[in-house]
Every structure is written in C-alpha cells, then in structure tokens.
A and B are shown apart, each in its own frame.
Chain A
Amino acid sequence: MFSYCVDPKTLEGFMWLSCYVTTAKHMSFYFSFLVVMGLLSLAAPLAMAFGFAGATATRSSLSILRSLGKGYLAMIRGIPDIVFFLFIPIALDQAFEYLRHKVLCSDVTEPIRQGNDFVVCASAKLPLNTASEWVHDIYGFSLALLAFGFVFGAFAGNVLSGAMAAVPKSQIETGEAYGFSQRQVFRRILIPQMWIYALPGLSNLWMILIKATPLLFLLGIEDIVYWAKELGGIKTGVYEYPHPDWRAWYFGVLMIFYLSLTYLSQSVLDKISARLSKGQATMAGKAG
C-alpha cells in the first residue's frame, strides 16, 4: 500500500502496523464486511417476502395452502436454524443439478445417485466447470441468501401472522359491512393496520438477522469469520509479516463490530417506534 512497505522485515512499530493492516489479504477482510452488509440488505426483504407469503398462506381458504403455511411457520420452533443453513444450500444445489441433468442430458441412462456419489453430466453442473471464479462466488452467495431468506422468512411469518391476528376484528367486520370483498378487506384494511403490531417483532427479527450473519462461514463463504481465522492464525518466519496467534484479537474486533451494529440498530429502531406510536391510542403514544 505505502511506498515504504517494500521490505516489511526492516520495519518496526507503527510503520510495520500500517503496512500490516493494508496487505491485500486485509483488503479482502475489509471487503467481507461489505459482504455481510450486502447479505443483510438483501436477506431482509427476501425474508419479508417469504414471511408474508407464509403468513398469507395460513389465512388461505384452501386447506392445503393453509397447512403448508402453518407447517412452514411452525418448523422453525422445533428445529435449530443451523440445520436449515446446512441443509438448504446443498439440497437446492442438488435439486437444480438434478433438474438440469434431466432436461439437458436426457440421453444419459445411468442413475444420478451411484452409491455415495451424486453424478450429473458435465453440462448440468452448476455453475459449469468452465465458469470463472466470480460465477462460483455469486452462485454460492445466492444459495446462502436463499437459505437466509427461507429461515428468516419463517421467523418473519410468525411475526406477521401474529400481527394480522392482532388487528381488531371490528375493523374487518366494518369492511365487510361496507361490502368489501375478502381480497379488498385483506388489502385495504388488514395489511395497512397490521404494521404497527408487527413492528416490535420485526425489530427483534432485524437484530437476530444481524446476529445470524456470521453463519455465512458455515456455508463456505469467505466471510469475516473466515478471514479472521485466516489472518489471525500464527504466521511463522516464512510469511512477510510474522506474528504469534492473534485470532483472539481479530475476533475481538468482530465482537466490537457486531456490538456497535446492534447498538446502532437498536437506537434507530427505538426512534422509529417512538415516531410511529405518536398519536396512537397506546401507552407509548400517550406518554409522548
């Protein structure tokens, strides 16, 4: 980075440190913070979409849809989220490759599952073996994103269906009395009124979403945990910047990063909830 970094062995003190924290690997480490932020900003709307679909399904008039929705919302109560994070990316990957194999290589007669192997033809591989590195990265990230959306969608679905149930019944009956159809009641009365009831749950959800982002590491993404392990490990003399085991320091930095992120979020969310409860007929609204 700096001109004096050519021979780090001769450097000392602050000069050494300034060169150390600007190496190419450290730049990847800083970039991975952006990956976390990117995941947060994409996973939140995706989870909302999944959750909204789930919550709507539980109120459907079709019994199949209803039980599917209820099952989706209930599963997260019984099964640890890590199971889904490990299961969904690999299951989706195999499902995609299976479908592509069936379509693209219909002439291949050998079974896909051969003993302990999962064999699809070369053109059905996802991404293709010939694809460049960044395609593999994007593909892995998208699978991870889908897993996050699915799991947190179940959480969000619980919050939203609770909020829908909390909208006063008289509001809905009034709508019906005015001759609104089911769809109109849903769109014009239920949805606009449920947000205030959903807000505490959704704030909480945002906080646990933040705290779930390091699980990207389990999905084989080179995220902040990966780089903290990589950079913090003992570096012997053969490295340019030898140092003892510094992993505790690196993870200390991650702790501070997450603590400030949750602290910041909490203060913003508190402001939003104060703003939204202004003028509402609740205790919080009256106090302000």
Chain B
Amino acid sequence: MSSCFQSLSDYGLRSIGFGERLLPKSDITLCEQFVLIGSGMIWNIYFAVFALLLGFFFATVLALGKNSNLPLFSAPCRLFIFIFRGSPLFIQFFFAYDLFVILPRLGFDIDLGFLVVTVETRWLTKAWLGALIVLFFNTSAYAGEIFYGALRAVPSQDLESADAFGFTGIKKFRRIIWPTMLRLAWPSYTNEAIFMFHATTLVFFTGFPAWQQKGDAIYYASYFADKTFNPFVPYPIVGFYFILLTLLIIGLFSLINSRLNKHLPTNERKRLRFNKYNLIR
C-alpha cells in the first residue's frame, strides 16, 4: 500500500510536469498505471472544459448568424459549420498543426495604439493552445448547428407574446429566445459535451507532440500497452475513468437542465434521460 502512495506522489501530477521525470519502464505496477493514466485525465478535462466554455458562446453567435436573413452573415457561418462538421476532427488536427508549423516562427506585433501586443505564433504548435483552438472551433460548429436547429424550433407564440409585451432587440433575445433555444437544445448539447470529452483523446495522436512525455490519459495507456505488451490492463483503466467522467457530465448537465425547465408545469418538463440521447454527433 505504501508503494501506492509513492506512485501517487511520483506520478500524480506527472502529466503537467511535476514529480518523477522518467516514466516507469520495468516492473510496472497496477498502481502506477492507475495513477499515471489518471494524471493524464487532467489534459482531457482541460481541453474539453475550455473548448466547451468558449465554444458555447461562439456557437450561439454561429447559430444566430446562420439564421440571419443577410447572406453577408449567414454564408460565412454556414461555411464554417460545414467545414468543421463535414471533415474528420483527426484530419483537422493534422491540417491545423501543419499550418501552425509553417506560420512565421517569431511572432508578430499588434499595435493597439496604447500598447503593443506580441503574438507568439510558436505557442500555436504546442498542444495546450493549438489543439485547444481546433477543439474550440470543432465544438462551436457542432453546437452551432444544434443551437440553430433549436432556434428554428422556438414556438412562434413565444415570439408573439414577446412582441405583445414590447420586448425588442437584445432584451427579446436574452429574455425569450435564448432561454427557450437553450432548453430545446439541451439534450443534444449534453450529448455534444460528452463527445467533446471523448474527442480530446485524439490530440496526442496527431501532429501535436507530447512535450517531455506530458500527455493525456490515452497517451499513457498506449505507452503502458506498448511497454507491457498487455492491452488488457491500461485500456480498461482509461475506460473506467471516462465512464466516471461521462456520469459526472450527465449529472452536471441534468442540474442545468432542470434549471432551464423550472418555469414549466411538471408534466411538460423534459427530463434528461440517458437512454433517450441522440447518441451520435
């Protein structure tokens, strides 16, 4: 048991660069596999949480843009959604990484008048930023399409009542359209969030290098599978972590769902039911 605490302190934060520098090479224990793969989950959570948080707002913009009557707004939004939904995320990672690599290395200055910001393009080739940008665009496109569908499904009576009460512009959107859109989109959006967490496992299999062997859960799992030549331990461990994570997401999203449905009479509330999910992104 003490050796287990030892591996926890050695490898618990290994994926972000603390603790033992070398990965276990021989006599790999079950504890080490559990701890190191768990440590890799930090990256999966980091990527998914930030991509989803940022993507949520961009997706709303995309949905409104796609719904716009002006082709000037709707055409670019349509194109963006089509490109990111129509091509594999795996290829998007490769493409983006190689684009980032051939960008000028040094970075360029942006003159804001009162201060000069230097944009360091070399950070783009690092996973923490480059892969996050790809995931952010990807989830924005998928969620944008979901929100667009929900936006089209907002009942016209809601809009008429809003007009009758003299709501216009921002106020009408914020008080009437947006909450209903979210409520209708929420089951699909929960699904999208789950798949975003799953998609983060692709990052370190594409161009983005795992610098100093700081990788995500599946990076360490495939490391162990290669070293021990036994896939039957590390991959089920990854599966275990992801099932826990998925249950956590569902718990969290159903709390938000009940908040979104609070104003409805009980029999009209939509409960998030796990087995009713539209499973596929």
Closest B residue, CB atoms, query A205: B280
B280 touches A86 (CB 8 A): no
Closest B residue, CB atoms, query A228: B94
User: Which candidate, A41-49, A103-111, A255-263, is the interface stretch facing chain B?
Assistant: A255-263
The answer to whether residues A155 and B242 also contact, given A211-B88, A225-B94, A248-B95 and a CB cut-off of 8 A, is: no
Interface code B214-235, partner A: CB below 8 Å = 1, 0 otherwise?
Answer: 0000100110010111111001
B218 touches A214 (CB 8 A): no
Residues of A within 8 A of B232 (CB): 91
CB distance from B262 to the nearest CB of A (A): 27
The answer to whether residues A155 and B235 also contact, given A80-B242, A254-B91 and a CB cut-off of 8 A, is: no
In Å, the complex CA distance between A239 and B28 comes to 43
Residues of B within 8 A of A76 (CB): 279
Instruction: Tell me the chain B residues, 201-259 only, with Cβ under 8 Å from chain A.
Output: 201-202, 205, 218, 221-222, 225, 227-232, 235, 238-239, 242-243, 246-247
A251 touches B95 (CB 8 A): yes
CB distance from B196 to the nearest CB of A (A): 11
The answer to whether residues A118 and B229 also contact, given A83-B218, A212-B88 and a CB cut-off of 8 A, is: yes
A78 touches B94 (CB 8 A): no
Residues of B within 8 A of A91 (CB): 231-232
A86 touches B246 (CB 8 A): no
Q: Is B90 an interface residue (CB 8 A)?
A: yes
CB distance from A221 to the nearest CB of B (A): 14
Contact of A83 among B94, B229, B239 (CB under 8 A): B239
Closest B residue, CB atoms, query A216: B90
Q: Is B120 an interface residue (CB 8 A)?
A: no
B198 touches A81 (CB 8 A): yes
Q: Is A79 an interface residue (CB 8 A)?
A: yes
Residues of A within 8 A of B82 (CB): 259, 263
B280 touches A83 (CB 8 A): no
User: Which candidate, B66-74, B98-106, B176-184, is the interface stretch facing chain A?
Assistant: B98-106
In Å, the complex CA distance between A155 and B195 comes to 13
Interface centre among B87, B199, B225, B274 (most CB of A within 10 A): B87
A245 touches B98 (CB 8 A): yes
Interface code B78-115, partner A: CB below 8 Å = 1, 0 otherwise?
Answer: 00001101111111101100110110000000000000
CB distance from B216 to the nearest CB of A (A): 11
Contact of B94 among A204, A212, A247 (CB under 8 A): A247
A211 touches B87 (CB 8 A): yes
Q: Is A94 an interface residue (CB 8 A)?
A: yes
In Å, the complex CA distance between A82 and B205 comes to 10
A263 touches B86 (CB 8 A): yes
A255 touches B91 (CB 8 A): yes
Number of interface residues of A (CB under 8 A): 48
Number of interface residues of B (CB under 8 A): 47
In Å, the complex CA distance between A159 and B275 comes to 11
B91 touches A214 (CB 8 A): yes
Q: Is A127 an interface residue (CB 8 A)?
A: no
Closest A residue, CB atoms, query B236: A87
A248 touches B218 (CB 8 A): no
Residues of B within 8 A of A215 (CB): 90
B280 touches A90 (CB 8 A): no
In Å, the complex CA distance between A95 and B198 comes to 27
The answer to whether residues A82 and B202 also contact, given A116-B227, A225-B90, A252-B95 and a CB cut-off of 8 A, is: yes
Interface code A124-149, partner B: CB below 8 Å = 1, 0 otherwise?
Answer: 00000000000000000000000000
Q: Is B156 an interface residue (CB 8 A)?
A: no
Residues of A within 8 A of B26 (CB): 116
In Å, the complex CA distance between A215 and B26 comes to 30
Q: Is B194 an interface residue (CB 8 A)?
A: yes
Q: Is B175 an interface residue (CB 8 A)?
A: no
Residues of B within 8 A of A99 (CB): none
Contact of A155 among B101, B218, B221, B279 (CB under 8 A): B279
B95 touches A214 (CB 8 A): no
Contact of A255 among B95, B230, B238 (CB under 8 A): B95
Q: Is A8 an interface residue (CB 8 A)?
A: no
Closest A residue, CB atoms, query B88: A211
B231 touches A87 (CB 8 A): yes
Instruction: Tell me the chain A residues, 143-191 only, with Cβ under 8 Å from chain B.
Output: 155, 158-159
In Å, the complex CA distance between A208 and B202 comes to 15
Residues of B within 8 A of A263 (CB): 82, 86
Residues of A within 8 A of B (CB): 75-83, 86-87, 90-91, 94, 113, 116-118, 155, 158-159, 201, 204-205, 208, 210-215, 217-218, 225, 228-229, 232, 245, 247-248, 251-252, 254-255, 258-259, 262-263
Q: A116-B228, A215-B90, A247-B94 are in contact. List 18 more A-B contacts (CB 8 A).
A: A78-B242, A78-B243, A79-B239, A80-B198, A83-B221, A83-B239, A86-B231, A113-B230, A116-B227, A118-B229, A118-B230, A211-B88, A225-B90, A247-B98, A251-B94, A251-B95, A254-B91, A258-B91
20 contacts across the A-B interface (CB closer than 8 A): A77-B194, A78-B239, A78-B243, A79-B243, A83-B235, A86-B221, A86-B231, A116-B28, A116-B230, A155-B279, A159-B280, A214-B91, A217-B90, A225-B90, A229-B94, A248-B102, A255-B83, A255-B95, A259-B86, A263-B86
